[in-house]
Amino acid sequence: MPCTTVLAGKLATNDRSTMIARTDDGHFDEKKLIVVEPDQQPKIYKSVESHVEITLPENPMRYTSCPSVDPKHGIWAATGINAANVGMTATETTTSNPRVLAADPMVELREAKDGEEERCGGIGEEDIVVLVLPYIRSAREGVQRLGHLLETYGTYEMNGIAFQDVHEIWWLETIGGHHWMARRVPDDSYVVMPNQLGIDSFDLDDAYGDKKDYMCSADLREFIAANHLDLSLDGSLNPRDAFGSHDDADHVYNTPRAWYMLRTLNPNTWVWDGPDADFTPRSEPVPETPQTPPADEREAPRRSRRRRGGKGRGGQKQPAAGGEQKAPEQKPAAPKEPRPEKRQPQPKPAAPAESAPEGEAKPRSGNRRRRYRSRRPNGGQGGPAGGTPNTGE
């Protein structure tokens, strides 16, 4: 399965917890789950892929990670949670366009040759968890630390990274070699991210001011203006248009995944199928989606199964999304035929009473009824329904 990220705000989940999840694709790579103690964290980190060396802060926290079993290509820690209960997943590979890459090229490794010295590359998926997770105490701090590293060392690839704490989720996307932007996931919404730059609205005033829901690299506004990257006609920046890719591959490889997941989780919010569909597998962008009802880690497949064939709980047909629900047509009732008269049951002749031999007890007439009741799992006065064991008495 392709690399796909799902993020759910705390009001979009059944237990009111924040959730981040990502499938990890690519070539086969055996992983292991480990705990990294503070004394095991390096003082100076060197990347295998880009050869960049970075001096790390003092006092790292204990954290988990999922590195590659074979370290020949680097650590590739993928995901983890630290001692401050902050989690992250890195990375969702994304794509950009020639305008952005010409204005801010990727920082790629240039090996020494023809008398020229080696030029190290920037940071990438191999490095990010190790460089960030042991040093942050909130999702917001994760964005700030990674943003500083991107501005300082650059990157050789486009990526999306999720940060999570108890209260909120932040999603950061890289832009070219040194720029970045991040947005807080609304508490009542969830996000599906299929290998493409996905933020499609951005408040630069908030990012340069209170930073309540948006953050970005220090010179992003000037970078956009100097390179004429804002393609909107009304001044409302759409980062997806400005910084993302718009290839045929997006409509074959990426947007169908987003369409399918939203169609599964919100089947009645929009019309997903047919000639009058609001969104199709080739739509761009897919909608920002509040989650109703809340989701949990087991609910999506269950909801998908019970919605098949347009049936909801209780077998009632669901109305089309965005459409008007019509009342069922009332058909006239057929005249009832007279019922035949009931035959009165004839009384059975009483069996002659048998007297028990002297000294023997007579059988109790209620034993048969009690035996039947004791076999019923919830019968009689007891059992699970009554809260006490069924004794048959």
Active site residues: 3
Amino acid at 177: G
And the tokens for 32?
């292991």
First to last CA, the chain: 59
What is the amino acid identity at position 299? E
CB 176 within 8 A of CB 96: yes
